[in-house]
Amino acid sequence: MTGTKIANKSRSKKDGYLHGYSAAEHNRLYHQARFLEEQVFAQVDFSGCKHILEIGSGVGAQTEILHERFPNAKIACVDASREQVSKARKRLSGAINKGLITVTEANAQDLPFKKNTFDGAFITWFLEHVSDPVGILKETKRVLAKKSVIHINEVLNHSFFVYPYGPATKKYWAAYNEHQIKLKGDPYVGAKLGNYLLESGFKNISTNFSHWHLDRRQSKLRDQFLDYWIDLLLSGSPELVKSKMVTKTVVTQMASELNSLRKNPDSIFFLGFVKARAECR
């Protein structure tokens, strides 16, 4: 689904994030956060929390929503990208000036906080981009107080399906996921969250598969998802072409195949991700 961050400062932007760091990508992330808000924040409950930690906050797209939904909690954001931190600080300046949000440039595996600092943690579209998700979850647990809650949303890219499924789309999607793995990320990390949380010492772990299944019954929303999905896939195309994972012809054909689905009343868009909740005991 994409996040905006890298977990370790030793990893360059070039190696850490398929979609790049352009102004267009920043805007795409803000749109994505709002477009997916309903399902991303379904069952996310920080109503009793006073101090929430957001790991891999990027440009602050999810932070805005967190603040709107839980205005009584202070939010501390952490991201390893100086550029993203700067963008987030500008975007969230109002709440920052009121002392409600802080944005810190830091490594997610070496958080600049003491034990028992937070009573809630939030991670969305971040662990898919890192090489050591368990290390990050263990470090997150270190700064959480007892009885704290963590909510995570992560991708399960194997779930993506469209009908009709064209050959260029299949080729592009395979290259997209393969390249993310080469960048030391994991496009299937959502299915592994239960194991990772257990290994990191969390308790009362629950996971569920959330999805969009859009066909002719919801044709308007289906077309909106196609627009969103085409933008997401195209945002990674410069890097994929540069790395010779796909050709420009495949990119053009992929976009054409997906655009043509709007003309087919029987076309289908299916995509899922995994939501996890756990407690720190």
Note the pLDDT tens digit of each residue in 66-89.
999 999 999 999 999 999 999 999
Helix axes 219-235, 248-260, angle to 10 degrees: 170
Span 115-173, pLDDT tens digits: 999 999 999 999 999 999 999 999 999 999 999 999 999 999 999 999 999 999 999 99
SS3 for 63? helix
pLDDT > 90 in the chain, percent: 89
Is beta strand 144-155 parallel, antiparallel or unpaired with respect to 268-280?
antiparallel
Kindly report the pTM of this predicted structure: 0.92
Domains of the chain: 13-280 (3.40.50.150)
In the chain, how many H helices and how many E strands?
A: 12, 8
The count of other CB atoms within 10 Å of the CB of residue 251 is: 20
Examine the pLDDT at 1 and tell me if it is beyond 90: no
Beta partners for residue 173, in sequence order: none
The whole-number average pLDDT for the span 184-209 is 98
pLDDT > 70 in the chain, percent: 92
